[in-house]
Amino acid sequence: MNIPITSKTNTTAGVNSDANPTAGDCSHCRSKETWLLHHVRLRGIYRRLCTCCVLRLHPASFCPLCFTFYDTTPPPPSKRLSCSNCSSFTHSHCAPSQSPSFAFLCPPCADPNFSFFHLDKTNNRTIDKKMATVLLCAAKIAACSMAKAVVVARAEAERRVREAAVCRKRAREALENVALVAKRKEVESVEVSGSGNLGKRERDGIDGTVIIGSPKNVERIASTEIGKNNGIANNNSSVHLQKGLDNGNNTEKKPSSQSNVSVKPEGVNSLPRNP
């Protein structure tokens, strides 16, 4: 398998590459092999690591000799050897027979210059079966890490959705409360202004200016009209009574006038007399 040759990027003089890694560098060892970088979530941080750094930072996820990925759990204690320097687990059948179990060291801990994935610096670089196995193991570790990251991200998104729903409910209740308080204040201000205008109108009515809009002024005007009507009716009745009295007096006076009429003697003598 041929590996594409990548050109190294030039760094600006005076800039520390360890403090300012570029987007194509490994975030742990600053490797320039961009096509070998894996996306990994390590301790809650998303990072891009090369194959060697993925394996070094996940020693308990694979066997350092056969590069078998421990998908769920490592082998049982009877079939594994634990490194006395790190958390690596090695198959018992993969470890050298002369190595004691109480002082076993995995290959990365036993050799300070050990490298999981080593490429030649020549122009024609190829990957053999062992390197392909190492690359596949690192890719499985990265995939498992990102799968866990997806679960964590989904749980975080659901939690934020619930929090947003609670905040939205609180905001709606707060707005409703503010609207209710504003409405109460508006009603109170209208009542206060109405009572003030009513008192002013009553005072104006006392001073002599009649304001039709005041309820007391309306009652006053109505009572005045009723009094006027009653006065007119009383005057009419007194006039009619006076006329009636005058007519009675005239009637009484008529007989007295008739009694004063003189009777002629001829009329009296002409009346028949009884024998």
Task: Quote the CA–CA distance of 217 and 201 in Å, as a whole number.
Answer: 9
Task: Quote the CA–CA distance of 219 and 211 in Å, as a whole number.
Answer: 11
Q: What is the pLDDT of residue 85?
A: 82
Pick out the chain residues at pLDDT < 70.
1-24, 31-35, 98-102, 118-125, 194-275
Q: What is the pLDDT of residue 219?
A: 62
Q: What is the pLDDT of residue 20?
A: 44
Of 217, 236, 235, the C-alpha closest to 225 is 217
Of 31, 48, 47, the C-alpha closest to 118 is 31
Half-sphere exposure of 224 (CA within 13 A, CB side): 7
The structural domains of the chain, with segments of one domain joined by +, span 59-154
29: CB partners within 8 A, 6+ apart: 50, 52, 53
Q: What is the pLDDT of residue 87?
A: 81
Task: Give, in order, the Cα–Cα distances in Å from 17 to each of 25, 31, 48, 245.
Answer: 9, 11, 16, 135
Task: Quote the CA–CA distance of 39 and 58 in Å, as a whole number.
Answer: 14
The letter for the amino acid at 188 is E
Are residues 69 and 62 in contact, defined by beta-carbon separation less than 8 angstroms?
yes
Q: What is the pLDDT of residue 37?
A: 83
Q: What is the pLDDT of residue 216?
A: 55
